[in-house]
Amino acid sequence: MTFFRFRPWKGANYEQGWHGVRTLIVGESHYSGRFDCGEELTQSCVREWASTGKGARFWAAIERTMLGDLPANRVEFWDSVGFYNYVQDLLLPHTRPRVAHLRAGQLPFLRALRSLQPELVVIYGKDVWNKGLPPHTHRVANWREGDEEVCGYQLPKTGHIPLVLGNIPHPRGGHSHARWYPVIRRARDFVKAGRQRMSPA
């Protein structure tokens, strides 16, 4: 029995982690005019992008945000991370997820966390962060990047305690990878230092 309409991508070296940290990247949703897409859709999209560079510019934006630039070895990067789309419904092109889609994504998302056991979760899409995430997130880390305070959170009831970094604008919204790259790098270093298991602030 599967709990996902679209199974998450788990890179071949996911357990070894991205720079030693099990990292799950969370996107928003799939868009297609077809409705016969199977449960391997997420995996197929990531695999095609990693191996051929063909696909939505979303993937390149993710790489720039996570790495500061396009990777020298795309396959190596995607083999080191997991990827999951929060909305488990297939949306028509040029539409936006409704609140009902986002709320329906809560339980599958928690199951994805239990299955993949990430140490760092990077969430793209302000709607996912503000309208979709399960309640009762706890702030456990905060630091300054330039003039802004950045916060890391934990989600309870996941079987472990990942550091969750969110409220990152969706790449289609034209976010600045130069702004978010140091934030994500700092969060990764925070996890590596073992401080993600601090008591909630």
In degrees, rounded to 5, the angle at the alpha carbon of residue 34 between the alpha carbons of residues 169 and 1 is 85
Whether residue 3 lies inside any domain: the answer is: no
First to last CA, the chain: 38
Q: Which comes out higher in pLDDT, residue 197 or 138?
A: 138
For the residues 9-36, what does the mean pLDDT come to?
A: 84
The 10s digit of each residue's pLDDT in 38-47 is 778 889 889 9
pTM over 0.85, yes/no: no
Residues 6+ apart with CB under 8 A from 112: 4, 8, 24, 84
Whether residue 102 lies inside any domain: the answer is: yes
* pLDDT the model gives residue 82: 97
Whether residue 34 lies inside any domain: the answer is: yes
The 10s digit of each residue's pLDDT in 35-73 is 556 778 889 889 999 998 887 778 888 898 899 887 888
Rounded to whole angstroms, how far apart are CA atoms 49 and 200?
Answer: 38
* pLDDT the model gives residue 86: 87
Whether residue 200 lies inside any domain: the answer is: no
Rounded to whole angstroms, how far apart are CA atoms 148 and 28?
Answer: 24
Rounded to whole angstroms, how far apart are CA atoms 65 and 70?
Answer: 9
Q: At what angle do helices 177-192 and 57-67 cross, to 10 degrees?
A: 50
For the residues 113-127, what does the mean pLDDT come to?
A: 88
Q: What is the total count of domains within the chain?
A: 1
Structural domain harbouring 100: 9-193
Whether residue 62 lies inside any domain: the answer is: yes
Q: What is the CATH number of the domain that holds 31?
A: 3.40.470.10
Whether residue 2 lies inside any domain: the answer is: no
The 10s digit of each residue's pLDDT in 138-152 is 666 666 666 556 667
The 10s digit of each residue's pLDDT in 159-192 is 566 777 776 776 666 667 778 888 888 888 888 8
One-letter identity of residue 97: P
Residue 94 has pLDDT above 70, yes or no: no
For the residues 94-117, what does the mean pLDDT come to?
A: 83
Whether residue 143 lies inside any domain: the answer is: yes
Residue 156 has pLDDT above 80, yes or no: no
* pLDDT the model gives residue 39: 78
Whether residue 115 lies inside any domain: the answer is: yes
